[in-house]
Structure 1
Amino acid sequence: MTPKSFSIAKTFDLEGIPEKLTVRGYTERTSFVPAVDPAYRFRKELLSDLLAWHMLGGTEGLYLTGPTGSGKSTLITQAAARLNISVQRVTAHSRLETPELIGHYALVNGSMSFVDGPLTIAMRQGHWFLLDEIDLLDPATAAGLNGIVEGAPLVIPEKGGEMVFPALGFAFIATGNTAGSGDQTGLYQGTLRQNLAFLDRFWMVEVGYPTAEQETMILAQAAPTIPEEIRKGMISYAAEVRKLFLGGQIEVTLSTRTLVRWAKLAEFFRPMAAQGINPLHHALERALSFRAEPESRSALSEIVQRIFGG
């Protein structure tokens, strides 16, 4: 891969950044480089943390923590997309074991061959390894990754103890809804308290929901035909729903992803207004309300009635 310097201001479409500030990436795009979402808008404060970690070599792990749908993984994949950085992405679960990450023997062209797993591929080829929902991982399995996170070689017992040394560019990134200390709120079922020695190997970055101003810009781009006052009401609605969610009063939340889905559906269903159907309410049910419990649906309905009326 041929290294390339990218202007931070131009690459990430940020104002107030000197043109001379650059970040390293690559000239070529591989099949593992995420697709660019042209509508994605970077938050300067979060991008600053990510690029600082990247420019310092990514020799320690990076752990992004925050509520569901706040954009943790998307920040990583969209930054990688613009820098032509390949990403191996895995979603953790309680039964995930290290061999699933390292690889396994499989029948290939009539004979048994060892097939590298996503972690091994990332280390051999210098990719970013992104482990989503890491707080669902069994702490014993996570602790087995201690050396990998800080750059130690990977040992493959199935191949006679072969050692895979991390290629230039390899880095370990994790995301989770908790900071690895377990869930005290009851909002994230299945999350587990992680080993302190494992967590000590990571930079920690807290990712909250975008500000109202940022979400206003996101909605204006995602659903430009919706009137500005309606978009502002949708953002106010999202803020109230999130407050109830974080307070443990309802079991669903309205992430930026869901907010955009609601806006796009509302645009699509606008013609239904001629049939006496409120497109905002109709779209909200399909974007969010139908996955809520009956009591939560009542609360969601009350808020939308108060903000938008019938």
Structure 2
Amino acid sequence: MTIDVQQYLVRQEPYYQPQGREVQLYEAAYRNRLPVMVKGPTGCGKSRFIEYMAWKLDRPLITVACNEDMTASDLVGRYLLEADGTRWIDGPLTTAARIGAICYLDEVVEARQDTTVVIHPLTDHRRTLPLDKKGELIVAHPDFQLVISYNPGYQSLMKDLKQSTKQRFAAFDFDYPDADLETAILAREAGIAAELAGRLVKVGLAARNLKGHGLDEGISTRLLVYAAKLINDGVDAADACRMALVRPITDDADIRDTLDNAIDAIFG
């Protein structure tokens, strides 16, 4: 079966503002076909960065949103029973290895550890993928690259990558942009004035300062963009902040009150 590579290409340039030298460093990793791991909090731009790099390198991108119910078959493929017999269907990892795509496993620690083991042969000198059920050994396309991401803030003994997996990757640490860069991102993404974007960033910083003091995770850049879009659509700024920034991240009454007061002070 012929695979339509064009469907996996990123057609339009994703908006991405570098925080450092990550673009050049990723290009070096790709030139050497090194597997890459990106780490950072929710909504800080990890997925946008990978999408941007796929566009910049003009490589197809296949993204897999990992979850605790994902099996190895979900990644590599399975036989399907049809009226006239069985037919093998490649999984996303197998497809990427065949066509030379960047395969992005988003939040990989959400998958079971016995599932992530299947990536090991693709992340060392072998660059192969055994399809045991099919009796086939795939040698990865020369352009294939594996990328994984996860949020270290959610790590636990039950949900972490094994050292045998971690030490197969070059790694990037991501964090929320600094205030000036995040202000520029909000202004560009939502089409709002820089002054308003700056106020939203202050709300975000107030919440991030509570991480570990009642909040598991701070307000992401993604949520700040949501709030900005609501305000740009005519929603009252304080209402937009409560709706997009506070209510999604906590149900704790004290934390809500603290953040609501911060919003009133910033937008009052």
Q: Name the TM-score, length of structure 1 as normaliser.
A: 0.77
What is the CA distance between 1:77 and its match in structure 2?
Answer: 0.9
Q: Where in structure 2 are the equivalents of 1:289-300 lying within 5 Å?
A: 289-291=246-248, 292-293=250-251, 294-300=253-259
Unaligned stretches of 5+ residues in structure 2: none
1:31 aligns with 2:7: yes
Amino acid at match of 1:280: A
Q: Where in structure 2 are the equivalents of 1:235-274 lying within 5 Å?
A: 235-245=201-211, 247-270=212-235
Query: Is contact 1:269–1:283 with CA below 8 Å preserved after alignment?
Result: no
Query: Is contact 1:73–1:132 with CA below 8 Å preserved after alignment?
Result: yes
Query: Is contact 2:77–2:88 with CA below 8 Å preserved after alignment?
Result: yes
Judged with a 3 Å threshold, the aligned counterparts in structure 2 of structure 1 residues 101 and 250 are, in CA distance, closer, same or farther, namely same
Query: Is contact 2:100–2:142 with CA below 8 Å preserved after alignment?
Result: yes
Judged with a 3 Å threshold, the aligned counterparts in structure 2 of structure 1 residues 37 and 299 are, in CA distance, closer, same or farther, namely farther
Amino acid at match of 2:246: S
Judged with a 3 Å threshold, the aligned counterparts in structure 2 of structure 1 residues 112 and 264 are, in CA distance, closer, same or farther, namely same
In the alignment, what sits opposite 1:41? 17
Q: Deviations over 1:238-286 (max 9, x none)?
A: 11111212x242245311111111111111125xxxxxxxx11111122
Q: Deviations over 1:146-176 (max 9, x none)?
A: 11222432111222x2111001111110000
Query: Is contact 2:71–2:115 with CA below 8 Å preserved after alignment?
Result: yes
Query: Is contact 1:29–1:85 with CA below 8 Å preserved after alignment?
Result: no
What is the CA distance between 1:193 and its match in structure 2?
Answer: 2.3
In the alignment, what sits opposite 1:303? 262
What is the CA distance between 1:131 and its match in structure 2?
Answer: 0.5
Amino acid at match of 1:306: A
1:205 aligns with 2:169: no
Amino acid at match of 2:224: L
Query: Is contact 2:242–2:260 with CA below 8 Å preserved after alignment?
Result: no
Query: Is contact 2:77–2:90 with CA below 8 Å preserved after alignment?
Result: yes
Q: Where in structure 2 are the equivalents of 1:276-295 lying within 5 Å?
A: 279-291=236-248, 292-293=250-251, 294-295=253-254
Query: Is contact 2:238–2:267 with CA below 8 Å preserved after alignment?
Result: no
Q: Name the count of aligned residue pairs.
A: 262
Judged with a 3 Å threshold, the aligned counterparts in structure 2 of structure 1 residues 78 and 266 are, in CA distance, closer, same or farther, namely same
* CA distance in structure 2 between the aligned counterparts of 1:115 and 1:100, rounded to whole angstroms: 10
Judged with a 3 Å threshold, the aligned counterparts in structure 2 of structure 1 residues 80 and 102 are, in CA distance, closer, same or farther, namely same
Q: Where in structure 2 are the equivalents of 1:117-132 lying within 5 Å?
A: 117-132=91-106
What is the alpha-carbon root mean square deviation over aligned residues? 2.3
Query: Is contact 1:135–1:178 with CA below 8 Å preserved after alignment?
Result: no
What is the CA distance between 1:62 and its match in structure 2?
Answer: 0.6
Amino acid at match of 2:78: H
1:68 aligns with 2:64: no
Q: Name the TM-score, length of structure 2 as normaliser.
A: 0.88
Query: Counterpart of 2:247 in 1: which secondary structure?
Result: helix
Query: Is contact 1:29–1:84 with CA below 8 Å preserved after alignment?
Result: no
Larger radius of gyration between Structure 1 and Structure 2: 1
Query: Is contact 2:14–2:48 with CA below 8 Å preserved after alignment?
Result: no
In the alignment, what sits opposite 2:200? 234
Q: Deviations over 1:45-91 (max 9, x none)?
A: 22122112112x22x32110111111111100122123321111112
What is the CA distance between 1:207 and its match in structure 2?
Answer: 0.5
Amino acid at match of 1:232: G
Query: Counterpart of 1:244 in 2: which secondary structure?
Result: coil
Query: Is contact 1:65–1:179 with CA below 8 Å preserved after alignment?
Result: no
Q: Where in structure 2 are the equivalents of 1:48-63 lying within 5 Å?
A: 48-55=24-31, 57-58=32-33, 60-63=34-37
In the alignment, what sits opposite 1:275? none
What is the CA distance between 1:307 and its match in structure 2?
Answer: 1.8
In the alignment, what sits opposite 2:70? 96
Query: Is contact 2:227–2:240 with CA below 8 Å preserved after alignment?
Result: yes
Query: Counterpart of 1:260 in 2: which secondary structure?
Result: helix
Q: Deviations over 1:187-238 (max 9, x none)?
A: xxxx612211111101111001111121121122234443x33221211111
What is the CA distance between 1:105 and its match in structure 2?
Answer: 1.1
Judged with a 3 Å threshold, the aligned counterparts in structure 2 of structure 1 residues 83 and 194 are, in CA distance, closer, same or farther, namely closer
Further displaced range: 215-224 or 70-79:
215-224
